[in-house]
Amino acid sequence: MADDCLFCRIVNRDIPADVVWESEDVLAFRDISPQAPTHVLVIPKTHLRSLADASDQDGDVLGKVMLAARDVARAEGVGDGFRLVVNTGEDGGQTVFHLHAHVLGGRGLTWPPG
């Protein structure tokens, strides 16, 4: 837990969120500013600043985040077609520095991203 971390505070239920999926290690909740009909954030419950800061020991929880994203997409009815985004670092568009995967779906998604 990082005291000044927004997503750690959501994990601790200090800040409310629309939680859609939870396990011992992973939490998923709706993005406050959805960019698609389905827009859910999947996070490890333990604080990890970004993918750039991940170590080889984080592989287990990162795998759990990926599989949770699969389950969230299925539960949202977009399991056959969705996008998983992990913005990393300021140049990667990351604004909240607790690693999270965006699950986006429910509309046609274009490429390349902005």
Residues annotated catalytic, as ranges: 100
**Is residue 114 part of the contact set for ligand 5GP (CB under 6 A)?**
no
Closer residue to ligand 5GP, CB minimum distance, 3 or 80: 3
Scan for tokens 């909240």, then name that residue.
Answer: 96
Among 2, 75, 96, 109, binds ligand 5GP (CB under 6 A): 96
Secondary structure E strands in the chain: 19-22, 26-30, 38-44, 83-85, 101-105
What one-character DSSP code corresponds to residue 109?
Answer: P
Query: Residue 2 and residue 98: Cα distance in Å, rounded?
Result: 9
Residues 10-49 that bind ligand 5GP (CB under 6 A): 17, 29-33, 41
Contact set with ligand 5GP (CB under 6 A): 6, 17, 29-33, 41, 87, 93-96
